[in-house]
Structure 1
Amino acid sequence: MTDSRGLWGIVLAGGEGVRLRPLVRRVAGEERPKQFVRLLGSRSLLRQTLDRAALGISTDRTVVVTVRQHTEYIAEEFAGVSQPPYVLVQPEDRGTAAAILYAAHWIGWRDPCATIAVFPSDHFILGEATFMAHVQEVAGALERHPDRVVLLGGQPTSPEGEYGWIEPGPPIGDDDGVLSAVRQFWGKPSEARAQMCLSTGCLWNTAIAVARVRALVELGARALPDMSSRLAGIQRFLDSDRELAAVDRAYALITRANFSRAVLESHPEHLGVSRLPRVTWCDLGNPRRVAYVLARMRVRPAWADLMDASASLDGVAAPEPVSMPTIRSVASH
Structure 2
Amino acid sequence: MTDQKHTEGNQWAVILAGGDGQRMKPFIQSWLGYPKPKQYCAFVGERSMLQHTWDRADRAGHSENQVTIIDKSHNQEIFRQMETHTKGRIVIQPRNCDTAAGIFLALAYINHWDPKAIVTIYPSDHFIAPQEQFTKMIKETVSAVTRLKERIILLGATPNSPEGEYGWICPGHPLIRNAGFPVRTVKEFIEKPDQKTIQTLSRNGGIWNTMIVTAYGSRLWSLGELWCPDMMELFHQLRKVIGLPQESLTLERIYQAMPQRNFSKNFLERIVSHLATIELQGVLWSDWGRPERIIETLGFLRKKPAFPLPQMAS
Normalising to structure 2: TM-score of the pair?
Answer: 0.93
Contact 2:176 2:182 in 1 (8 A): no
Q: 1:203 aligns with which of 200, 207, 219?
A: 207
Cα drift, residue 179 of structure 1: 1.4
Q: Does 1:36 align with 2:14?
A: no
The CA distance in 1 between the partners of 2:250 and 2:10, in whole Å, is 27
Contact 2:44 2:304 in 1 (8 A): no
Secondary structure at 1:93 match in 2 = coil
Q: Does 1:147 align with 2:184?
A: no
Secondary structure at 2:211 match in 1 = strand
Secondary structure at 2:138 match in 1 = helix
The CA distance in 2 between the partners of 1:174 and 1:136, in whole Å, is 14
Partner AA of 1:96 in structure 2: T
Cα drift, residue 274 of structure 1: 0.8
**Aligned-residue CA RMSD in angstroms?**
1.5
* Alignment match, 2:27: 23
Partner AA of 1:67 in structure 2: D
Whose relative contact order is higher, 1 or 2, with alpha carbons under 8 Å and at least 6 apart? Answer: 2
* Alignment match, 1:220: 224
* Alignment match, 1:233: 237
Alpha-carbon spacing, 1:29–1:153, altered in 2? closer, same or farther (3 Å): same
Contact 1:166 1:205 in 2 (8 A): yes
The CA distance in 2 between the partners of 1:7 and 1:99, in whole Å, is 19
Contact 2:175 2:183 in 1 (8 A): yes
Cα drift, residue 59 of structure 1: 3.4
**Structure 2 residues not aligned, in runs of 5+:** 1-8
Q: 1:186 aligns with which of 190, 206, 216?
A: 190
Contact 1:171 1:177 in 2 (8 A): no
Q: 2:96 aligns with which of 69, 82, 93?
A: 93
Q: 2:171 aligns with which of 168, 173, 178?
A: 168
Alpha-carbon spacing, 1:218–1:302, altered in 2? closer, same or farther (3 Å): closer
Contact 1:23 1:330 in 2 (8 A): no
**Structure 1 residues not aligned, in runs of 5+:** 308-328
Partner AA of 1:150 in structure 2: I
Cα drift, residue 82 of structure 1: 6.3
Contact 2:44 2:306 in 1 (8 A): no
The CA distance in 2 between the partners of 1:15 and 1:295, in whole Å, is 27
* Count of aligned pairs between the two proteins: 305
* Alignment match, 1:157: 160
* Alignment match, 2:3: none
* Alignment match, 2:5: none
Alpha-carbon spacing, 1:66–1:177, altered in 2? closer, same or farther (3 Å): same
After TM superposition, list the pairs within 5 Å mapping 1:250-269 onto structure 2.
250-269=254-273
Secondary structure at 1:285 match in 2 = coil
Contact 2:183 2:277 in 1 (8 A): yes
Cα drift, residue 303 of structure 1: 2.6
